[in-house]
Amino acid sequence: MKRIIALLILAALLLAAVPAALAAGEQVEDFTVEMSDSGVTVTLPEGYAAKGYFKLFWKNEKTGDIQSAVFTADTPSYLIETEAGTEYSFQLFYAKKRGLLPASWKEDKPEEPQGPAVWKVLWMDAQTIEFPDAGIVNTMTEEDHRISDDAAKDFEALIEEYTGGLVDIQITRMTLDEPVTTMAYYPKNGYCPEQSDVNMKHYALYKYDSVFVFGRMDHILTKYNGFACRPEKNREEPGYSFIRLAGEDCFPTDEAVIKYVCVHEFLHQLNYFYGTYQLEIPDPDTPELYGYDPAPGGILEPQFFREALTMTAVNADGKYVGVPAEAWEYRPTRATVKRDLRFMQEQEAPADRRWEKAESTEPAETAEPYGAGYGPEIFGTLDEEKYIYRNTVIGLSCFLDNWRFMTAEEYFSTYTVSSIIDPEETAGDFTDSLLARYAESNDAPQNMTVGITYLTDSFLEQYDDAAWVERAKKLLEQSVPGAGLEDFSCEIVPCRIGDWTLSGLKSSYLWGGVRIYQVEISWIDGDHLNDLFITSYMLDDCDRILDHFHLLKN
């Protein structure tokens, strides 16, 4: 009898030692859900024991109904018939024994806050950023590292101030010694090192809530002070922003604004993250949607940041928006199942906080922008089988497979010093103007543009096309002092277009810190002159682009 009692006591002690997670079933996060016409397919994770059980719960967010199913660990996927147009939430659990699986849906509620929410930030300096194709190597100086250090301290102080003490920013500093040699390209913003380019998953996944990377980006096409990349999995991966330094002095124009650039990018990170919880976080790129005036350079007044981070901003519908105090308990390092938190933003602002959205007024008549409406048809007749355009007016044919034509707005917003002469300025010389703008591919960087102009000029009545090129060279050289061009070179060189060799004006210079290459080729055809010019940025692709063109023989 004593022996039986001892065994019972020993068994009780062993059961008490079983981990709570195992006793209740271990919750699984790394499964995928795919929607289809036939329902929802849940693909189970790999790496679990060959034996054991999964239990899947799915909740109809429309009705609140919860269903579940149990299946063995060797089941690769599970198909659920769902109601079309309805959103579902899922929970998955694993246990070695069926009886250890939870009986019901596990309510996912954040713990009661114990003081400020700790937001973990990894602050990295990319020591070297390279662009191998262009031979560009940028290395951070001691001054750059100091600027990054100061920005980290300022950022921490500002966020804790703007959130009214709801958030405790904890920053970990490190220097990335491995050179960054690959970058993603964004058509409207230029090059930026993405998360994968600096191995963010290795350094920060499940360890940090936000990542800031500082790096030197001289002579590389960019149109931003800071840039926030959208994570692949917004709810689990840390927010990621790259802050650009450039030149001997820090970039942007003044070191004092970098801390506000970081706060600006932090709001983008929160926008991506809390968007998965259906919360509206003011976008710092569109402050007018919240009653604020856009600021030059995107540097908004502190009140905008303060209201966005404490849910005291007001949208056009008169409701408070921003980060609710309770929502700070949700963060990438505390990844939770998908939840709809819109109920946190149902409070309406009082009348004195509301603002009226200005109605857009269209002018009765709007002048068409110069060059608007031109597309591939400007090159003439398309041979759809060979994808070659032929234009007998300008005497050219060109092969344009996979080239993207640009609108006038897109063209003038790229990184160009426009070499186009506006017909309005020289109306007497232009009888007709054919202008086309395009980038080489939808997917490739827009690092070059091409234009074709057909014109007449009084100069042609006395001189030939060689004299025209000589005159163009002198005009270009005369414009250098007032144009802010550096390291300028210009020469007349023979250029081949198909079987023809013509005189071309080839130039190179630094503008805005970026190397620019240009080729302009002019030839007389009857009583008018055709002018083909190519501009290439960072890389000298002018000769390669010329290979796409051929002169038509009359």
Residues 314 and 395 in one domain: no
CB 162 within 8 A of CB 305: yes
Residues 418 and 272 in one domain: no
Among candidate residues 327, 332, 335, the one with its CA nearest the CA of residue 200: 332
Residues 337 and 383 in one domain: no
Final residue of a structural domain among 336, 351, 366: 351
Among candidate residues 301, 282, 281, 288, the one with its CA nearest the CA of residue 358: 288
Higher pLDDT, 352 or 126: 126
Is 364 contained in some domain? no
DSSP H or E segment with residue 120: strand 117-126
> Which tokens go with 532?
């083909």
* pLDDT for position 458: 63
Is 480 contained in some domain? yes
Is 1 contained in some domain? no
pTM over 0.75: no
Is 112 contained in some domain? no
* pLDDT for position 128: 96
What residues contact 179, with CB distance under 8 A and at least 6 apart? 127, 128, 129, 130
Rounded to an integer, the average pLDDT of 132-159 is 92
Higher pLDDT, 275 or 538: 275
Final residue of a structural domain among 335, 351, 367: 351
CB 417 within 8 A of CB 451: no
Which range marks the domain in which residue 93 is found? 22-100
Distance CA 192, CA 184 (A): 6
* pLDDT for position 344: 92
Ramachandran assignment for 85, one of left (phi > 0), alpha (psi -120 to 50 degrees), beta (any other): left
What residues contact 302, with CB distance under 8 A and at least 6 apart? 158, 162, 260
Is 110 contained in some domain? no
Report whether pLDDT(310) > 60: yes
Residues 240 and 161 in one domain: yes
Q: What is the mean pLDDT of the chain?
A: 76
CA 68 to chain centre: 39
* pLDDT for position 239: 94
Is 45 contained in some domain? yes
CA 237 to chain centre: 16
Final residue of a structural domain among 35, 67, 100: 100
What residues contact 345, with CB distance under 8 A and at least 6 apart? 279, 280, 311, 319, 320, 321, 324
Among candidate residues 277, 287, 290, 289, the one with its CA nearest the CA of residue 326: 277
Rounded to an integer, the average pLDDT of 9-16 is 33
* pLDDT for position 552: 67
Report whether pLDDT(35) > 60: yes
Picking from 15-19, 95-99, 403-407, which range would have the lowest pLDDT averaged per residue?
Answer: 15-19
Helices then strands, each counted (H, E), the chain: 9, 29
Report whether pLDDT(368) > 50: no
Residue 150 pLDDT level (bands cut at 50, 70, 90) = very high
* pLDDT for position 45: 75
Report whether pLDDT(290) > 70: yes
Residues 345 and 476 in one domain: no
Picking from 219-233, 396-410, 429-443, which range would have the lowest pLDDT averaged per residue?
Answer: 429-443
Is 369 contained in some domain? no
Residues 92 and 126 in one domain: no
Report whether pLDDT(20) > 50: no
Report whether pLDDT(84) > 60: yes
User: How many separate domains does the chain show?
Assistant: 3
* pLDDT for position 13: 34
CATH code for position 497 = 3.40.1000
The rounded percent of the chain whose pLDDT value lies above 90 is: 27
Residues 125 and 92 in one domain: no
Residue 97 pLDDT level (bands cut at 50, 70, 90) = confident
* pLDDT for position 14: 32
Report whether pLDDT(532) > 70: yes
Residues 58 and 183 in one domain: no
Residue 17 pLDDT level (bands cut at 50, 70, 90) = very low
Residues 397 and 316 in one domain: no
Rounded to an integer, the average pLDDT of 549-554 is 66
Residues 132 and 233 in one domain: yes
* pLDDT for position 64: 81
Residues 135 and 70 in one domain: no
Report whether pLDDT(135) > 80: yes
Is 293 contained in some domain? yes
Residue 284 pLDDT level (bands cut at 50, 70, 90) = very high
Residues 230 and 148 in one domain: yes
